[in-house]
């Protein structure tokens, strides 16, 4: 028996969570591909695409926060500085 539309339709919260999970998975896969990329042009393209998915993931997260489906606490300035240093080093390695 074929499921009805009502049984297969996601509510808004579940749809956003599914989108968020998919973007996180894509970013993880791009990160793996970047690490294993064998030439600079390929790595640059993968890095660009990963960044696009990071932007999309953040946009979905913002929508979840606006709707009260997720909670986030502001990062401390020290945590922000640590993250900037960590990813600056990674970015230099990828250039």
pLDDT at 72: 87
pTM of the entire predicted model: 0.68
Residue 67's domain comprises 11-94
pLDDT at 28: 94
Can you tell me which residue has the tokens 């502001």? 74
* DSSP-assigned letters across all residues of 39-51: SHHHHHHHHHHHH
Per-residue pLDDT of the chain (95 residues; tens, 9 = 90+): 566 656 678 899 999 999 999 999 999 999 999 999 999 999 999 999 999 999 999 999 999 999 999 998 888 999 899 999 998 988 888 88
For residue 39, tell me if it sits in a domain.
Answer: yes
For residue 4, tell me if it sits in a domain.
Answer: no
For residue 5, tell me if it sits in a domain.
Answer: no
Dihedral, 40, 47, 34, 63 alpha carbons, nearest 10: 180
Contact indicator for 69, 61 with CB cutoff of 8 Å? no
Tally of domains in the chain: 1
For residue 86, tell me if it sits in a domain.
Answer: yes
For residue 44, tell me if it sits in a domain.
Answer: yes
For residue 3, tell me if it sits in a domain.
Answer: no
């Amino acid at each position: 028996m074929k499921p009805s539309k009502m049984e297969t339709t996601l509510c808004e919260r579940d749809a956003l969570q599914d989108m968020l999970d998919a973007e996180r998975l894509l970013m993880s896969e791009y990160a793996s591909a970047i690490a294993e990329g064998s030439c600079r042009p390929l790595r640059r393209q993968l890095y660009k695409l990963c960044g696009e998915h990071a932007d999309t993931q953040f946009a979905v997260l913002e929508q979840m926060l606006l709707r009260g489906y997720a909670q986030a606490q502001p990062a401390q300035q020290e945590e922000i500085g640590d993250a900037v240093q960590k990813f600056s080093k990674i970015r230099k390695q990828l250039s």
